[in-house]
Amino acid sequence: MPDSTTRVVSVQRLNQGPGDRSLAEWWADECKNETPESKIIEEAANLLRTSDTPVAFPSETVYGLGADATRSSAVQGIYKAKQRPSDNPLIVHVDSVDMLDRLLNPTLGSPRSCATPRISIPPIYQPLIDRFWPGPLTIIIPNPSGSNLAPEVTSKLTTFGVRLPSSPLARLLIHVADRPIAAPSANASTKPSPTTAQHVYHDLHDRISLILDGGPSGVGLESTVVDGISNPPAILRPGGIGIEALRECAGWENVTLGYNDGNLDMKEIPRAPGMKYRHYSPKARVVLFESSSKAAGVERHVQKDLQDSAIGAHNIGIVRTRNWKQGLNLAPDEDLASTLKPVPNSLENLVSFPIPVQETGSPSSRTKTAYDYHLGTDTETIAHGLFAALRALDELDVDVIYVEGISALDGVLAAAVMNRLRKAAGTEMKV
């Protein structure tokens, strides 16, 4: 069993991609030049082929925890490292549509009778593949009979989810491993997904031996998961690619929402099994305020929590987006300016300030600490930094995190941000 000898190795240079070269040509050049990155990709690919301990790697959405999708013992290693419930299936990652084609036709290349029909990707996905692959879109496909996928990948479903990542680094790793790679997000189960190698290290360092560091993930939220083999087609998990863009594709005009988003009236159980679990949750309670919440109401709510010793809010975190002002109004403006302090070894722009509080039933006042973080105002920046912000506040041992939501109607990425925040907040949503 690996221990804290877990290595985090930078392969960031490979983010620049192959340019005009194919993956094979790119890899041949890296090997010819004996680059440090080629050595580490070779090592990671070998581990993927032979070891039962998964390897963490960067992708454009979030970091993944990868294993050879065709070997049961390797895939079991993912569930073990993450402590993930076994009824939550994994996404398979391929380096090309060709690799998916081979997965769908396991007997290809071996002697075949002419009667064996070739299985193709369901045609409904072709417009999506043309437009969104490589990229943050996962499609659900029937698992063929005689499939090479380990049964643990699909958790007993008759389908599997697959995506072709746009991260060149991820594609190169899959190409060199020459295997479809099953990879969930590389966080411990229930925690916010990791968007840096350090997040992965924090959650899994005693459980895996190698983390490839490609720098922060660009998108910051997981892929959109779609099911085109049901009628009508459905979005099972919102992500970087949204309903408007999907509806522009032939056959997807009537795509519906197949996930429960808290404020949607959905009685069914979610169709992506993972969506039923507590998820994206820091240790701290998360209280999510809708974008329309008035500042005065938010301040009253926070003050009440701080004064109520039963709630036990000692240190609090505030995550602001578009309208809240720094520090809310928890300290008078003139005091705030002089007491704001940067927080060392944490996110830039994360500041702390003291709040004197008179707890109910307690004779003396005590000082509590608030941490204030401005996530940003535009949706891309908010999506990109969200999980890192929740993780940074957890590191500071806050008891509660108050989050200023954004309007889920502001486009797809905004809907995905609010979906993750609603999951993190559970029932604690304020309007």
281: partner contacted, choices ligand TXA, Mg ion, none (Cβ within 5-8 A by kind): none
Contacting residues for 310 by C-beta, under 8 A, at least 6 apart: none
- Judged by CB under 6 A, the stretch of 32-40, 154-162, 196-204, 283-291 that binds ligand TXA is 154-162
Q: CB of 239 within 8 A of CB of 61?
A: yes
- Judged by CB under 6 A, the stretch of 218-226, 307-315, 339-347, 371-379 that binds ligand TXA is 218-226
Nearer to ligand TXA, 168 or 317 (CB): 168
Within residues 185-214, the interface with Mg ion by CB under 5 A covers: 185
Of the candidates 279, 264, 293, the one whose C-alpha atom is nearest the C-alpha of residue 404 is 293
DSSP labels for 367-398?
EEEEEEEE--SSHHHHHHHHHHHHHHHHHTT-
When asked if residue 166 is in the footprint of ligand TXA (CB under 6 A), the reply is no
The tokens for 193 are 């997904």
When asked if residue 259 is in the footprint of ligand TXA (CB under 6 A), the reply is no
When asked if residue 383 is in the footprint of ligand TXA (CB under 6 A), the reply is no
- Judged by CB under 6 A, the stretch of 22-30, 32-40, 82-90, 364-372 that binds ligand TXA is 82-90
183: partner contacted, choices Mg ion, ligand TXA, none (Cβ within 5-8 A by kind): ligand TXA
When asked if residue 233 is in the footprint of ligand TXA (CB under 6 A), the reply is no
When asked if residue 281 is in the footprint of Mg ion (CB under 5 A), the reply is no
C-alpha distances (whole Å) from 133 to each of 86, 220, 285, 314 are 28, 18, 37, 47
When asked if residue 281 is in the footprint of ligand TXA (CB under 6 A), the reply is no
For residues 341 and 394, give the distance between their C-alpha atoms in angstroms, rounded to a whole number. Answer: 18
Q: Which residues pair with 288 in a beta bridge?
A: 403, 429
When asked if residue 251 is in the footprint of ligand TXA (CB under 6 A), the reply is no
Q: CB of 101 within 8 A of CB of 158?
A: no
Binding mask of the shown chain, residues 151 to 190, with x at each position contacting Mg ion by CB under 5 A: ----------------------------------x-----
Q: CB of 419 within 8 A of CB of 238?
A: yes
Q: CB of 112 within 8 A of CB of 230?
A: no
Q: CB of 306 within 8 A of CB of 368?
A: yes
Question: Binding residue for ligand TXA (CB under 6 A) from 10, 15, 148, 159?
Answer: 159
The tokens for 393 are 């506040």
When asked if residue 419 is in the footprint of Mg ion (CB under 5 A), the reply is no
Nearer to ligand TXA, 374 or 420 (CB): 420
Nearer to Mg ion, 161 or 216 (CB): 161
For residues 55 and 48, give the distance between their C-alpha atoms in angstroms, rounded to a whole number. Answer: 7
When asked if residue 321 is in the footprint of ligand TXA (CB under 6 A), the reply is no
- For residue 47, count CB atoms less than 10 angstroms from its CB and return exposed for 0-12, middle for 13-18, buried for 19 or more: buried
The tokens for 238 are 């919102």
Contacting residues for 24 by C-beta, under 8 A, at least 6 apart: 175
* DSSP SS3 for 167: coil
61: partner contacted, choices ligand TXA, Mg ion, none (Cβ within 5-8 A by kind): ligand TXA
Give the residues lining the site for Mg ion (CB under 5 A): 185
Give the residues lining the site for ligand TXA (CB under 6 A): 59, 61-62, 64, 88-91, 136, 138, 140, 154, 157, 159-161, 183-185, 222-223, 225, 236-237, 272-275
